[in-house]
Chain A
Amino acid sequence: IKKRECSLHPFRVSFQQLGWDHWIIAPHSYQPQYCKGNCPRILHFGYHSPNHAIIQNFINELVDKSVPPPSCVPYEYSPISILMMEQNGTILYKVYEDMIAKSCTCR
């Protein structure tokens, strides 16, 4: 995948930076990752792009520029475990879904 093309980028953030450390006890930080880059003209198989994205790409190029090209967004996510304090003071172990981007797609 060429350097500026849609791809996964590392990023670590603490819950203090997010302003969530007054109710999230642990972990202290985590790596959400993010997707960034250009979506290529030909959305090859590796991008898991739906047919709609391929159509939208063609429309943007051949028919109407006001229709935006597909965007580089996460394709798969994974969860993380957290320990949180509820408003009544109970401490809960939770698995929060869709917290980490694991792969990217153009759509």
Chain B
Amino acid sequence: SEETTCAFRDPYQNDHGISESRISQENGTVLCMKGSTCYGLWEKTREGEIHLVKQGCWSHIGDPHDCHSEECIVTTTPSLVQNGTYRFCCCSTDLCNVNFTENFPPDPTDAMPFNSSHTFHRDE
């Protein structure tokens, strides 16, 4: 498989295992090793605001079925970390991790929608 170019954002970490020569800071892209795919991580707040957290190369896939789609689609229920506000996806075409879409089963415990009777106020 060819080398894939992915969107790259890694504000805090510098031991991501990618040589600087592969990273274009001005374009915000990275040329990943052969066989790697792209990933993106966003934070989605209760109010629906979306913040980009991390983007880069996903070099070792844990499940053969993962990361083969051409678009970055969040297909699994978010992990418990930070109350399930993170959205992760991976994909296999150039710059496919610039943004994401969601297509995962609703968490059974989230029976009530966000803006239920209890609304979040700025001063809470």
Contact = CB atoms under 8 A, between A and B. Distances in A.
- CB–CB under 8 A between A and B in the complex? yes
Interface of A: 12, 15-16, 21-31, 78-83, 85, 90-93, 95, 99-100
8 contacts: A21-B81, A25-B86, A25-B88, A26-B88, A28-B76, A78-B60, A80-B60, A85-B82
B66 A27 contact: yes
B39 A26 contact: yes
B99 interface: no
A21 B79 contact: yes
A24 to B, nearest CB: 6
Contacts of B34: none
Nearest to B104: A28
B59 A25 contact: no
Contact of A27 (B10, B64, B88): B88
Contacts of B54: 83, 91, 93
Contacts of B60: 78-81, 95
Given A22-B81, A91-B41, A91-B54, A29 B59 contact: no
Contacts of B61: 80-81
Contact of A15 (B10, B13, B66, B79): B79
A25 B79 contact: yes
Contacts of A100: 62
Main secondary structure of the interface of B (DSSP, over half): loop
A28 B60 CA distance: 14
Interface string B83-101: 0001010100000000000
B79 A93 contact: no
A14 B64 CA distance: 14
Contacts of B53: 91
Interface string B66-80: 100000000011011
Interface in B8-22: 10, 12-13, 16-17
B12 A90 contact: yes
A93 B13 contact: yes
A83 B12 CA distance: 13
Closest 4 CB pairs of A and B: A30-B62, A28-B76, A26-B88, A80-B62
Given A27-B90, A81-B39, A81-B61, 4 more contacts: A22-B80, A28-B79, A31-B62, A90-B12
